[in-house]
Amino acid sequence: MSKQRRPYPTIFLGVGLELAGTVGVLVGIGYWVDRHYQTSPIFTLVGAGIGIVGGLTKIVLQSSQTMRNLQRKQRDENQTRK
């Protein structure tokens, strides 16, 4: 199954929601673990940290891939003009 090509600006429209969703889910899991084991803020903070690091990693990887694709597209367009 191949990925459907989307215009580059639309790729990043959901990035903020993905980051917020990832952090929210992991904070929620951490909060539940803290309540269950009475370890107050420890797992909530761990979940937030993992969510932020994971989300930012995804943003960086997706941005670098998009930039490579744009550079490749520009290079191909320049070669066809010559």
Q: Is there a domain that residue 1 lies in? A: no
**Residue 54 forms part of a structural domain:** yes
Domain containing 51: what range?
Answer: 16-81
Per-residue pLDDT tens for 24-46?
Answer: 999 999 999 999 999 989 999 99
**Residue 17: pLDDT over 60:** yes
Report yes or no on 6 lying in a domain: no
Q: Which residues contact 35 (CB under 8 A, 6 or more apart)?
A: none
Alpha-carbon distances, residue 29 vs 44, 57, 75 (angstroms): 7, 20, 46
Asked whether residue 77 is assigned to any structural domain, the reply reads yes
Q: Positive or negative CA dihedral for 32, 37, 40, 41?
A: negative
55 pLDDT more than 70: yes
The DSSP call for residue 39 is -
- Report yes or no on 5 lying in a domain: no
> What 3-state DSSP class applies to 2?
coil
Residue 1 has pLDDT above 50, yes or no: no
Residue 33 lies in a domain: yes
As for how many domains the chain has, the answer is 1
Contact indicator for 54, 25 with CB cutoff of 8 Å: no
66 domain residue, yes or no: yes
